[in-house]
């Protein structure tokens, strides 16, 4: 993103991800990307992505409410 002259703050990324995570179609779109037979928990995976990949981004955390699962 840096090479393209783009940036994203932690709050922007979290808001976008929470918006998508609240949509059933997004949750369903993930399943075909996974190995057949893999058992997984979307909400647990979301927590991991937010904690490991998104938390280190610059800026403050998003202050909105996470979506209902």
Q: Rounded to two decimals, what is the model's pTM?
A: 0.72
Separation between Cα atoms, residue 67 and residue 20, nearest integer Å: 9
pLDDT of the residue at 69: 55
pLDDT, tens digit, for every residue of 26-66?
Answer: 888 988 899 999 888 999 999 999 999 999 888 899 988 76
Instruction: DSSP for 21-69, please give it.
Output: HT-HHHHHHHGGGSPTT----HHHHHHHIIIIIITTSSSPPP-SPPPP-
Contact (CB, 8 A) for 10 and 59: yes
Residue at token pair 């955390």: 61
């Amino acid at each position: 993103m840096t090479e393209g002259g783009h940036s994203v703050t932690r709050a922007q990324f979290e808001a976008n991800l929470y918006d998508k995570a609240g949509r059933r179609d997004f949750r369903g779109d993930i399943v075909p990307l996974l190995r057949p037979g893999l058992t997984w928990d979307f909400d647990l995976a979301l927590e991991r992505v937010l904690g490991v990949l998104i938390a280190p981004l610059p800026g403050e955390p998003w202050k909105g409410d996470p979506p209902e699962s």
